[in-house]
């Protein structure tokens, strides 16, 4: 532990100074059926590239945080952000279907109605409410840039926050000491503002960064067309907490329950976990058919040499013996396997997930420490490490890591997050203080923590996955058999996945309140991870969240069977589903 703390201190001091090395990346490119020859693979912004051969195989060297661009005539271009562990990317390209609109051929845009966008406003931080309607970059037929309120944190005022986040803008002091924003270096016309639907030449002085929920930017040419000459310098749209944005449940202030959308009736089409086992590897199916522990051990002795180079074999076998109440055998397998693991954070995280689910929290903590050292710039490392310290009862270190994360974001050492993990870390930190505050405070002072720190009353689900390349759809089926789907795919939600890789996180939370009694069902449709190895999904369910009676349960799911809707678990709770 002392060694880890010394390493941690060094990482904090030199967080921005590490040198990246090149990865050799290989893969096969297909159209879903046949290999594609002649696909161009280029490092974005450079002339470095290669072509796929007659078998669809390619090889290229790139650094972490490089974008690889895969392009081929008649196919949609694919962009993948390289990570520290990226060594294999198998790409399945999709046809670039074009539609004929009178005599002009144009590429399709994602088509969502204003009602769809209003309903999605609460869970999609790229949507901005404007006097023109709800807009986001994927649906607007012009250049439109958005920021979430969390993107602005850490700046002294709104103008400085926008200057830091919007490339190429200028801030200038004009008449009466007011500040003006110029959206590019070529224009002499300043941008105007629209705040909660009201146009104004100057930003009202009373607006604080913490009041802002969304920002949208429309540049000069498009703004001129829609608002006239006064908007020739562009328009900055600002949504605040005081405005009414997004669809609401009836006459309440709650966000719209997305499981009440039309055409989303669930017909029990998800396969069970038992049926999912039919897609398990041969060795795992045979283990589950074993009559007793002795027979299972003999099978393991038979298989282990054949699969000695497959680290996922040992995870699967460890978990099998744990579920069959043979912990001694499982621990022996685990200890031997972990000795051979190279510094692969994806694999280490898969092991840590399983240890957590089996209540081996001290052993999991040791692995999270190793991952932290490997990935000091990843936001997820702070969440994992702080949560792990809390699991082993070290509440002060947990609180210190949450505080350190906020400090590093404020100082610019860690990238500010807009779509996922910042609000999760904030909620975790607040929950730690609400439940364990008397153990965090100096002097051992006891405080009354019986009241809930949040208005939320219900069950919290935290989903985390070990591989950032994993794509899937989560389906939440309410007691009335209607569902809401959260899509984590490059096809539907590329900005989210790119944000995860840039900021270094792989998690999402969902809150189910008490407004709809009955049984919920949570399903998943796994799309793959561009490799042949499985991905692992950890689901932490918090019951009575925020109360002193709060409990949590950790389950881990092996994701390998693709493009099949499969049941994960049932939840006997109630409520409206909303993302963080």
**Any domain includes 28:** yes
Question: Which own/partner contact pairs does 48-52 have at CB distance under 8 Å and 24+ positions apart?
Answer: 52/28
Residues 6+ apart with CB under 8 A from 497: 468, 471, 488, 489, 490
Q: Which residues does 158 contact at the CB level (< 8 Å), separation at least 6? A: 152, 203, 207, 208, 209, 212
Statement to judge: residues 501 and 534 lie in one domain: yes
Query: Are 182 and 125 contained in the same domain?
Result: yes
Tell me, yes or no, whether 430 and 553 share the same domain.
yes
Task: From 256, 282, 316, give the residue that closes a domain.
Answer: 256
Any idea what the CATH number is for the domain that residue 190 is in? Answer: 2.170.130.10
* Cα maximum dimension of the chain: 85
What is the total count of domains within the chain? 3
Do residues 176 and 228 share a domain?
A: yes
| Residue 580, H or E segment | none
In a shared domain, residues 382 and 430 = yes
Q: Could you give the CA distance from residue 479 to residue 474 in angstroms, rounded to a whole number?
A: 16
120, part of any domain: yes
The answer to whether residue 93 sits within a structural domain is yes
Which of 458, 480, 484, 482 is closest to 544 using CA atoms? 458
Let me know whether 532 and 396 are in one domain.
Answer: yes
**In the structure encoding, which two tokens stand for residue 488, read together?**
């984590």
How many CA atoms within 13 Å lie on the side-chain side of 576? 20
Same domain, 574 and 549: yes
- Do 489 and 540 share a domain, yes or no? yes
| 431 in a structural domain | yes
State in Å, rounded, how far the first CA of the chain is from the last one.
33
Specify whether 391 is located in the same domain as 536: yes
Rounded CA gap, 315 and 283, in Å?
12
Of 98, 126, 153, which residue constitutes the final position of a domain?
A: 98
CA–CA gap between residue 554 and residue 358 (Å, rounded): 8
Q: Are residues 457 and 572 in the same domain?
A: yes
Angstrom distance (rounded) from CA 334 to CA 355? 9
Q: Say which residue the tokens 């975790």 belong to.
A: 428
Task: Supply the range of the domain harboring residue 58.
Answer: 22-98
Has residue 107 been placed in a domain? no
Give the residue among 388, 33, 418, 62 at the shortest CA–CA distance from 216. 418
Same domain, 220 and 143: yes
User: What residues contact 530, with CB distance under 8 A and at least 6 apart?
Assistant: 27, 80, 88, 89, 90, 91, 469
Determine the Cα–Cα distance for residues 255 and 271; give it in Å rounded to an integer.
31
pLDDT in tens, the chain (580 residues): 444 444 444 444 444 444 458 999 999 999 888 899 999 999 999 989 999 999 999 999 999 999 999 999 888 899 999 999 999 999 999 887 654 343 333 334 455 678 788 888 888 888 999 988 889 887 777 788 899 888 888 888 889 888 888 877 888 888 777 889 998 767 788 899 999 888 888 888 778 898 899 999 998 778 887 888 888 889 999 999 888 888 776 555 666 665 555 557 888 888 888 787 777 888 888 898 888 888 989 999 889 888 888 899 999 999 999 988 788 889 999 998 888 887 899 999 999 999 999 999 999 999 999 999 999 999 999 999 999 999 999 999 999 999 999 999 888 888 776 557 888 998 899 999 988 888 887 654 444 443 444 456 678 999 999 999 999 999 999 888 888 889 999 988 888 898 899 899 999 998 887 667 788 999 999 999 998 899 999 999 998 888 888 899 999 999 998 888 999 999 886 545 555 5
Asked if 438 and 526 sit in the same domain, the reply is yes
Q: Is residue 269 part of a domain?
A: no
In this prediction the pTM is 0.71
Which of 256, 277, 306 marks a domain boundary? 256
* Residue 268 placed within a domain: no
In this structure, is residue 506 part of a structural domain? Answer: yes
What is the DSSP pairing of strand 40-43 with strand 49-51?
antiparallel
Contact indicator for 273, 230 with CB cutoff of 8 Å: no
Q: Which residue has the tokens 């900055």?
A: 236
């Amino acid at each position: 532990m002392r060694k880890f703390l010394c390493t941690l201190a060094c990482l904090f001091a030199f967080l921005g100074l590490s040198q990246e090395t090149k990865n050799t990346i290989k893969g096969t490119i297909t159209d879903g059926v046949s290999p594609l020859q002649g696909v161009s693979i280029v490092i974005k912004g450079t002339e470095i590239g290669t072509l796929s051969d007659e078998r669809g195989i390619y090889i290229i060297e790139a650094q972490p945080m490089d974008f690889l661009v895969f392009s081929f005539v008649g196919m949609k271009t694919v962009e993948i952000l390289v990570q520290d562990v990226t060594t294999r990317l198998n790409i399945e390209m999709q046809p670039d279907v074009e539609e004929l609109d009178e005599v002009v051929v144009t590429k399709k845009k994602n088509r969502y109605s204003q009602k769809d966008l209003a309903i999605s406003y609460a869970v999609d931080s790229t949507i901005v409410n404007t006097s023109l309607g709800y807009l986001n970059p994927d649906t607007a037929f012009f250049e439109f840039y958005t920021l979430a309120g969390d993107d602005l944190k850490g700046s002294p005022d709104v103008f400085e926050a926008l200057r830091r986040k919007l490339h190429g803008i200028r801030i200038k002091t004009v008449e009466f000491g007011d500040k003006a924003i110029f959206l590019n270096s070529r224009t002499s016309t300043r941008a105007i503002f629209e705040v909660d639907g009201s146009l104004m030449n100057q930003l009202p002085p009373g607006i604080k960064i913490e009041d802002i929920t969304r920002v949208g930017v429309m540049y000069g040419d498009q703004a001129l067309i829609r608002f006239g000459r006064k908007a020739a310098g562009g328009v900055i749209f600002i949504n605040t907490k005081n405005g009414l944005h997004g669809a609401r449940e009836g006459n309440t202030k709650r966000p719209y329950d997305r499981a009440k959308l039309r055409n989303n009736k669930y017909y029990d089409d998800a396969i069970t976990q038992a049926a999912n086992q039919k897609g398990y590897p041969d060795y795992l199916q045979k283990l589950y058919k074993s009559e007793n522990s002795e027979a299972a051990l003999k099978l393991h002795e038979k298989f282990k040499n054949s699969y000695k180079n497959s680290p996922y074999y040992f995870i699967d076998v460890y978990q099998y013996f744990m579920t069959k109440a043979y912990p001694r055998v499982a621990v022996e397998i685990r200890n031997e396997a972990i000795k051979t693991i190279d510094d692969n954070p994806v694999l280490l995280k898969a092991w840590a997930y399983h240890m957590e689910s089996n209540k081996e929290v001290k052993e999991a903590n040791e692995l999270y420490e190793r991952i932290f050292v490997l990935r000091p710039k990843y936001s997820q490392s702070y969440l994992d490490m702080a949560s792990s310290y809390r699991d082993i009862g070290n509440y002060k270190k947990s609180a210190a890591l949450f505080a350190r994360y906020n400090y590093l974001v404020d100082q610019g050492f860690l990238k500010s997050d807009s779509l996922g993990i910042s609000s999760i870390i904030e909620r975790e930190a607040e929950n730690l203080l609400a439940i364990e505050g008397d153990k965090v405070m100096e002097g051992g002072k006891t405080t009354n923590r019986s009241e809930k720190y949040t208005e939320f009353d219900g069950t919290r689900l935290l989903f985390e996955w070990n591989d950032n390349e994993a794509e899937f759809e989560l389906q939440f089926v309410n007691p009335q058999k209607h569902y809401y789907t959260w899509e984590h795919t490059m096809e539907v939600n590329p900005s989210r996945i790119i944000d995860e890789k840039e900021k270094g996180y792989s998690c999402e939370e969902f809150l189910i309140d008490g407004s709809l009694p009955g049984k919920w069902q949570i399903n998943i449709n796994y799309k793959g991870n561009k490799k042949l190895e499985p991905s692992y999904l950890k689901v932490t369910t918090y019951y009575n969240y925020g109360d002193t009676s709060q409990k949590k349960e950790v389950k881990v799911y092996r994701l390998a069977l693709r493009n099949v809707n499969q049941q994960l678990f049932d939840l006997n709770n109630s409520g409206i589903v909303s993302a963080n």
